[in-house]
Chain A
Amino acid sequence: MILTTLEGVPGKEIIKHFGIVQGSTVRAKNIGKDILAGFKNLVGGELQGYTELLQEARQEALDRMIQQANSIGANAVVNVRFATSSIAQGAAELYVYGTAVRVQ
């Protein structure tokens, strides 16, 4: 599966469009990491635990999108975009969407 943020795939021609595919995940924070982050908050800087947590979650959203694209017979997703929103206290939704296509 080829993913790009462009309107096509470099070096390949699009032969069929399948429309929007999307993937999302809603994640809550983990208490242990939150306490550590609370301490880290005092001195500032990167919160590595969260960086990893969100990275994994985003990968999961991507995987779901890829799965959907696979199931309709696409072999690439173009114009991929990410969006993040806070849903509730301590929970965030990571959302990814794009256009599924078939390239040569």
Chain B
Amino acid sequence: MELFIILGLLCLGYFAGTYAERQHYKSIRKRERETASISVVTFGAKQEIPDAKDAKLFVGNVVISGDYFKMFISSLVNLFGGEMTLYRSLLDRGRREALLRLKQEAISWGGTKILNVRFETSRIGNQIGDDGLVSIEVIAYGTAIR
């Protein structure tokens, strides 16, 4: 009986998770094209400060979680070591989403450039299923100028 529940959850995680991931990537790519007009750079602190009328700090954040299937497979990979591609795509989605939110906010404010962008990632423990189901918060922040 328990085996069936686990199998059911695995299937649900796999199909729903893969579908959600594909949709998310599609939306990320679409919005990345839309926001390509604004330039984003990670430098800007240790050189001459550009001349601009206004500068403002913007933050984009997202909390993202893996699905049951990913976590299950990851725990197997854990036994042998090696690269965890499943987690990589999760973090990739999180980072790109956070950066997109930062860009979208900066664009709606009228920004032309985002300087000194920094990323930060942190793990958010979950009470339910601290056995491997993790959520990750990614933030991207930087200074927009106009």
Closest to A2 in B: B55
Q: Choose from A6, A40, A48, A50 the contact partner of B137 (Cβ within 8 Å).
A: A50
B45 touches A10 (CB 8 A): no
B64 within 8 A of A: yes
Can you list 27 pairs linking A and B with CB atoms under 8 Å apart? A4-B55, A4-B56, A5-B45, A5-B115, A5-B117, A5-B118, A6-B44, A6-B55, A7-B46, A10-B51, A10-B55, A11-B51, A11-B53, A11-B54, A35-B128, A37-B128, A41-B66, A41-B67, A41-B128, A43-B20, A44-B13, A44-B16, A44-B64, A45-B21, A48-B63, A54-B63, A86-B124
Which residues of chain A are within 8 angstroms of B127 by Cβ–Cβ distance? 29, 34, 38, 89-90
Closest 9 CB pairs of A and B: A44-B67, A38-B128, A3-B57, A50-B63, A43-B16, A10-B52, A84-B122, A4-B143, A44-B17
Listed in ascending order, the chain B residues whose CB lies under 8 Å from chain A are 9, 12-13, 16-17, 20-21, 24, 44-46, 49-57, 59, 61-68, 70, 90, 97, 115-118, 120, 122-130, 133, 135, 137, 139, 141-143, 145
How many A-B contacts if CB must be within 8 Å? 152
